[in-house]
Structure 1
Amino acid sequence: MFRHVLEKLHVKWKSYRHRFVPWIALNISKNEKTLRHVKKRSEDKLVPDEEVSGSLLRLFRVLYSEAVKGHFHVQVTSGKELSAHDAMFRSLGFCIERKRSTLPYAGCGVFVSRGVVPKGATVAMYPGTIYQPYEPILLQSIRNPFVFRCLDGVLVDGNDKAVSKMVYKSCSARDRMGPFVMSDTSWLTVSPENPLAVGQYVNNCSNEWPANVCYQEYDVPDTFPFELRRYLPNVNYGPHSQGPLRCVVLVSLRDITAGDELFSNYYTIVH
């Protein structure tokens, strides 16, 4: 019994340690091969924000169009059921899905299920509540391996359970503009309307499984269509947060074929 508990704790620790700053600091030299290096902050982005916006808009417009028509999750004349993944394949040329990772200790992972992801494509989004550096997150961060830290100290809580889930739903309801939804809450379920919103389950790379995607910060521009914001899987924790909404996307470092699992670098060194 005791041995079983220790084994479970060991598995959880192996998954969590890459987000534990003291461990990272002590082991950074040992993990040199799996670190991502950039010379300066301005070079951290692999593709321009305009390209990220373009990819998101292509997908979101198809999702919105089909939702308005009432095609999702209903039987159509072709005999096939349209889904968010069909919309993703139609607009981006590939699909991703969450399932059991190839890593024995990792639990869930994210795989390319259809098509080919070209280099430089926006592959996934990291959903969650956005916290500015001065906002409290202590309670939400307890036993939470899904807190992502941006270069400027902004945090994204991508946990879809417990207190984090309640906080996100509360903030999303607060920002609603009458009948218009300003963020997506479906990523908290097993069937997200935005199929990109599974980035929190992408596992860390290793010497055996090198990174094929990287994180990229993306600030939603003011020109982003009002009606398509319903598919953004992020919401500000503070009701009066200044500036554009921060999102984090995952961008492909090379071509990725169907059947491949996505792997990222959990931390980046900026020189």
Structure 2
Amino acid sequence: MLPETVKSKYHDLLSVQHPRVKPLEYRHEQQNTFKPEEILYKTLGFSVAQATSSLISAGKGVFVTRGLVPKGAVVSMYPGTVYQKYEPIFFQSVGNPFIFRCLDGVLIDGNDKGISKVVYRSCNGRDRLGPFKMSDSTWLTSEICNPLAVGQYVNNCSNDRAANVCYQEFDVPAVFPIELKQYLPNIAYSCDKQSPLRCVILVALRDIKQGEELFSNYYTIVS
């Protein structure tokens, strides 16, 4: 599913040979060598991270920390528990600004605190296939395995800050590799095998340079 240029870089990273070292040294070296944001940068040519927003009183925002995001590239993912429109979400929604509503009424709760966090962890522990997890829960922690899973912190555009990303909805295809699902920061609230998993990504509307903050339009969703 990856473009050939990206796929070749990915295989190059996997094929790098490392000398034998002692366990403690290897652990230290592994932490320095295989940081997710470093792999993201080497694979896609950019990295993103949370930081204090440039908007007054906006709290956190998401910035391009390295490289250049080309127009049309996936720059972030909206993590969280996915609720069908008929499923209960009242208590999770109280005072929660991180609930994303899709065009068809499907909801994604991207809150990484409180009851939302508990619900996601519970669903993540429920869904496993042998040694494989069916979703990534590290976005709830400070040690994120998928550095793109910060889309819930992308702020809305303003009069002087035009949107540079847009939302794109898609359903994960049935042929998606089982071993890669552990990197998807979304999970279904109920164990419904009939409904495909909904994901929302953020796509660059133009080239976005290092140091720029990401801004979306909350009313612009592409299905």
Same fold (TM over 0.5): yes
User: Following superposition of structure 1 onto structure 2, how do residues 27-176 of structure 1 map, counting pairs within 5 Å?
Assistant: 53-54=1-2, 65=14, 74-75=28-29, 80-176=32-128
Tell me if the contact between 2:51 and 2:63 (Cα under 8 Å) persists in the aligned partners: yes
Contact 2:167 2:221 in 1 (8 A): no
Distance 1:151 1:163 in 2: 25
> Residue 132 of structure 2 aligns to a residue in which SS?
coil
Task: Choose which of 141, 144, 166 in structure 2 pairs with 1:189.
Answer: 141
Equivalent-residue separation in structure 1 for 2:84 and 2:183 (angstroms): 22
For residues 166 and 109 of structure 2, what CA distance do their matches in structure 1 show?
18
Q: 1:166-197 CA deviation, whole Å, 9 max, x = no partner?
A: 00010111111122111000000122100000
Q: 178, 189, 204: which is aligned to 1:237? A: 189
More helix by share: 1
CA shift, 1:269, in A, is: 8.0
What is residue 203 of structure 2 aligned with on the other side?
Answer: 251
Q: Does 1:264 align with 2:212?
A: no
Q: Secondary structure at the match of 1:75?
A: helix
User: Over the residues paired in the alignment, what is the CA RMSD in angstroms?
Assistant: 2.6
Where does the alignment leave 5 or more consecutive residues of structure 2 unmatched? none
Instruction: Say if 1:143 and 1:221 are closer, same or farther in 2 by CA, change over 3 A.
Output: same
Identity %: 58
Name 1:200's counterpart in structure 2: 152
SS at match of 2:33: coil
Once the two structures are TM-superposed, the CA of residue 80 in structure 1 deviates from its matched residue by 4.8
Match status 1:225 vs 2:177: yes
**What letter matches 1:125 in structure 2?**
M
Name segments (4+ residues, structure 1) moved above 2 Å.
69-74, 79-82
TM-score by length of 1: 0.72
Does the Cα contact within 8 Å between 2:166 and 2:221 map onto a contact in 1? no
Match of 1:15 in 2: none
Stretches of structure 1 lacking an aligned partner (at least 5 in a row): 1-52
